Amino acid sequence: MNKILITGHQNPDTDTITSAISFSYLQNTLGKNTEAVALGTPNEETQFALDYFKIHAPRVISSASDETNEIILVDHNEFQQSVSDIEELTILAVIDHHRIANFHTSFPLYYRAEPVGCTQTIILKIYKENSIEIPPAIAGLMLSGIISDTLLFKSPTCTQDDINAAYELAKIAGIEVEKYGLDLLKAGTNLSNKSAEELISLDAKSFEVNGKKIRVAQVNTIDYDDVFLKKNSIETAISNQINQEGYDLFLLVVTNVLDSDSKILAKGNASQTAEKAFGVQLDNGEAFLKGVVSRKKQIIPQITEALS
Amino acid sequence: MNKILITGHQNPDTDTITSAISFSYLQNTLGKNTEAVALGTPNEETQFALDYFKIHAPRVISSASDETNEIILVDHNEFQQSVSDIEELTILAVIDHHRIANFHTSFPLYYRAEPVGCTQTIILKIYKENSIEIPPAIAGLMLSGIISDTLLFKSPTCTQDDINAAYELAKIAGIEVEKYGLDLLKAGTNLSNKSAEELISLDAKSFEVNGKKIRVAQVNTIDYDDVFLKKNSIETAISNQINQEGYDLFLLVVTNVLDSDSKILAKGNASQTAEKAFGVQLDNGEAFLKGVVSRKKQIIPQITEALS
């Protein structure tokens, strides 16, 4: 029997990489033969967490059917965010906290989604249901996923379940949440060595709504100028991607993790959708979105609505 | 705030009706304001269970947006099997044990699916996770759902989880599983007072595969002749439905609950799909399928495959 691969989404973030690792550890402890893989290399925030807890980054793949026919998805379900040959594989399980779309199977499966801030919060519940002990390093990675996805509990996606899970995991990992959390978030805001192309691809997801191709990239910062002083080259990089991939709307969301606000840059022939979605006026493609930090809860549903 | 409605699928069977009831009781105990409803009246098997445990049948609806904007789906997820205005509602949760298809949401939700034989097996787990006591009558209905969906543990969809759940629920309900189980299944095989139209609509589900409209009706019996002696009028009823609804394939699956085999009747311009799907030769539209009892595991995936 081949190994079951466990993967998060493309352009992996901390939750997606660490969820593959923690769910693989859980499944292997239950007697399954699984391997955590990733659809890209860790970003600097994720690498900070992996280094801190001395865990290797998962092997990077882009397709899976040459080595297995069984896969488990964590932190995503939409096929366009997954391995390129997802339609050829049997999806055994999904653990996720996103909307469900562009997803289907021929067979019944294990699907566990909850409207919480982080996949790890759900995985912790499954650990408990199966009475499996969590090693401190795994607990540290799980905590990192929660801090990252909830911006240290400040995102509107954060629930009491996430906060409880984080403090429970911190105890197992022997970590002081606030101090470690700020260090982790700051590690992900170092954009100085990133090219414009890298910057708009770091954490970007594609969606299709009513036949429109949407790309939403998000970067965290502690100073908007780190991004907007490079606006010209970023606009060129975005235009190139629009031409290559046929996006109708490319939205770059620059989130200040200290203030919990965002500035957006909208490009593409459907860029006025952003004005409708957020009730703002674009100024040279830019707008300030007060209190907006969550792509999942404050960006995607509003764009979906504006296009429906 | 409006009531949250909880519903199973169209052409309700015992699992779908009783799951709406047991999940509504669970949610209300947790402080939610929910009502179990149904997309049709109970069949004779379900009515037997409701009478036995002295629980009223849920109110019948076909659409929901005139009275609520929030719904919970049990025992199904495919939109064409749900309320007619499902696209206008917010789906708060899904508890199911089927494949996922023709399903999507704009927002994250609670989705709990497991590849087990019955929705009630999953609902029992959620009762336990929330430490909620199950009243004997509710336990009896949950047991009835498991017996019905697994054909008293004989279906290939039945898992050890279902068997364990059934005996645990039987203890709470004070029921002897085998005796009650046979009585329940037999109550569902009384086809003598059914018209051909009723017979092909009792437990029928629609699917779309590669643009083809498929309808699969299933009836339980203890004697194939109860159905096939009426073949002429059944064929007329099927042809009428094909003409009205534009089905490419209408499959009637007649399952002998004592022998655990089935005889099928295939009609429609794609009826040869059944030959390919099951590796059989149709004789006047009929074929015997040895050991086949599960639409979900032994019919739908094979037809999906044959049409792909």
What's B20's domain CATH number? 3.90.1640.10
pLDDT band at B254 (very low <50, low <70, confident <90, very high): very high
> Within this chain, do residues A204 and A80 fall inside the same structural domain, yes or no?
no
* Confidence label for A140 from pLDDT (cuts 50, 70 and 90): very high
Are residues B208 and B145 part of one domain? Answer: no
Look at residue B63 in the predicted model and tell me its pLDDT.
Answer: 97
Residue by residue, DSSP assigns B212-235 as EEEEEEEEEES-THHHHTTHHHHH
CA–CA distance, B221 with B189 (Å, rounded to integer):
5
Closest chain A CA to residue B130: A129
Evaluate if residue A137 carries a pLDDT over 70: yes
Looking at the complex, does the CB of residue A76 fall below 8 Å from at least one CB of chain B? no
Q: What is the pLDDT of residue A263?
A: 97
Nearest residue on chain A to B208, judged by CA atoms? A106
- Residue ending a domain, among B163, B187, B211, is B187
CA-nearest residue to A129 within chain B is: B129
Domain identity same for B223 and B112: no
| Nearest chain B alpha carbon to A107 | B99
Q: Do A105 and B101 touch (CB under 8 A)?
A: yes
A26 and A166 in a common domain: yes
User: Which distant-in-sequence residues (6+ apart) come within 8 Å of A34 by Cβ?
Assistant: A3, A4, A5, A6, A24, A27, A28, A72
Q: How confident is the model at residue B58 (pLDDT cuts 50, 70, 90)?
A: very high
A70: left (phi over 0), alpha (psi -120 to 50) or beta: beta
B101 lies within 8 A of chain A by CB? yes
pTM of the model: 0.86
Report chain A residues whose CB lies below 8 A from the CB of B100.
100, 103-105, 109, 111
Residue A97 has its nearest CB partner, among B108, B301, B304, at: B108
CB A74 within 8 A of CB A19: yes
Nearest to B301 among A99, A106, A110 (CB): A106
Give the mean pLDDT of B75-99.
97
Asked if A111 lies within 8 A of B100 by C-beta distance, the reply is: yes
Question: How far away is chain B from the Cα of A190, in angstroms, using its nearest Cα?
Answer: 30
Q: What are A230-245's pLDDT values in tens digits? A: 999 999 999 999 999 9
Q: Give the residue ranges of the annotated binding site of A.
A: 9, 13, 15, 75, 97, 149
Mean pLDDT check: name the lowest of A88-97, A298-307, B52-61: A298-307
Sequence-distant (6+) residues with CB within 8 A of B86 are B71, B79
Q: Domain check: are A174 and A78 in the same one?
A: yes
A102 at interface of B, judged by CB pairs closer than 8 A: yes
Instruction: Check if B76 contacts A (Cβ < 8 Å).
Output: no
Give the chain B residue nearest A77 (alpha carbons).
B104
On the CB side of B84, CA atoms within 13 Å amount to 5
Whether residue A108 and residue B101 make contact (CB cut-off 8 A), yes or no, is no
The two structure tokens encoding residue B120: 């009630």
The per-residue pLDDT for B1 is: 53
B74 shares its domain with B182? yes
Question: Would an 8 Å CB–CB cutoff place A231 in contact with chain B?
Answer: no
Counted domains in chain B = 2
Mean pLDDT value across residues A73-77 = 98
User: How far is A164 from A153, CA to CA, in rounded Å?
Assistant: 11
Q: What is the pLDDT of residue B193?
A: 82
Domain that holds residue B54: 4-187
Residue A1 has pLDDT above 80, yes or no: no
Kindly identify which residue of chain A lies nearest to residue B302, measuring between CA atoms.
A106
Tell me how far apart the alpha carbons of residues B156 and B162 are, in angstroms, rounded to a whole number.
12
Are A147 and A12 members of one domain?
A: yes
Q: Which residue of B has its CA nearest to A102?
A: B104
- Per-residue burial over A40-63, b = 16 or more CB atoms within 10 Å of its CB, e = otherwise: bebbebbbbbbebbebebbeebee
Distance CA A96, CA B109 (A): 10
Residues of chain A above pLDDT 90, percent: 89
**Placement of tokens 């499902």 in the chain:** B86
Mean pLDDT of A264-281: 95
Residues of A in contact with B304 (CB under 8 A): 106
Annotated binding-site residues of A for Mn(2+) read: 9, 13, 15, 75, 97, 149
Q: Which of residues A168, A187, A206 is at a domain's end?
A: A187
The pLDDT-based confidence of A146 (bands split at 50, 70, 90) is very high
In this complex, do B98 and A109 lie within 8 Å of one another by their Cβ atoms? no
Confidence tier at A192 by pLDDT (50, 70, 90): confident
Mean pLDDT, chain A, integer: 95
Does the pLDDT at position B261 exceed 70? yes
Q: Are B52 and B147 found together in one domain? A: yes
Position B73 scores a pLDDT of 98
Report yes or no: B97 at the A interface, CB cutoff 8 Å: yes
Whether B305 has its CB under 8 Å from any CB of chain A: the answer is yes
Min distance A229 CA to chain B CA atoms (Å): 34
Task: Give the whole-angstrom CA distance, residue B192 versus residue B44.
Answer: 12
Residues B176 and B203 in one domain: no
**Closest-CA residue in chain B for A101?**
B104
Contact (CB<8Å) B99/A111: no
How many CB pairs below 8 A link A and B?
A: 83
| CATH code of B273's domain | 3.10.310.20
Same domain, A163 and A216: no
Q: Which two tokens stand for residue A235?
A: 């606009």
- Do B23 and B166 lie in one domain? The reply is yes
Give yes or no for a contact between A179 and A134, defined as CB atoms under 8 angstroms apart. no
A291 inside 8 A of chain B by CB: no
pLDDT at residue A2 greater than cutoff 80: no
d(CA A88, CA A66): 10
Q: pLDDT for B140-186, tens place per residue? A: 999 999 999 999 999 999 999 999 999 999 999 999 999 999 999 98
- Whether B179 and chain A come into contact, CB under 8 Å, resolves to no
Model pLDDT, residue B145: 98
Same domain, A226 and A292: yes
What is the mean predicted confidence (pLDDT) over A287-296?
A: 94
B103 touches chain A (CB under 8 A): yes
Q: What distances in angstroms separate CA A247 from CA A126, A214, A227, A243, A307, one per listed residue?
A: 38, 6, 22, 7, 14
B-chain residues near A304 (CB < 8 A): 106
Which site among B111, B118, B125, B149 would you substitute to test the A interface, given the most A Cβ atoms closer than 10 Å to its Cβ?
B111
Contact between chains at B112 and A112 (C-beta distance less than 8 A): yes
Give residues 134 to 163 of B whose Cβ lies within 8 Å of A: 157
Q: How many CB atoms are closer than 10 A to CB A69?
A: 13
Test the B interface: residue of A106, A121, A128 with most B CBs within 10 Å: A106
Token pair 């030959």 is found at: B275
Which residues in chain A are closer than 8 Å to B112, comparing Cβ atoms? 111-113
A115 touches chain B (CB under 8 A): yes
How confident is the model at residue B279, as a pLDDT? Answer: 95
Q: Which of B164, B187, B210 is the last residue of a domain?
A: B187
The DSSP secondary-structure symbol of B86 reads G
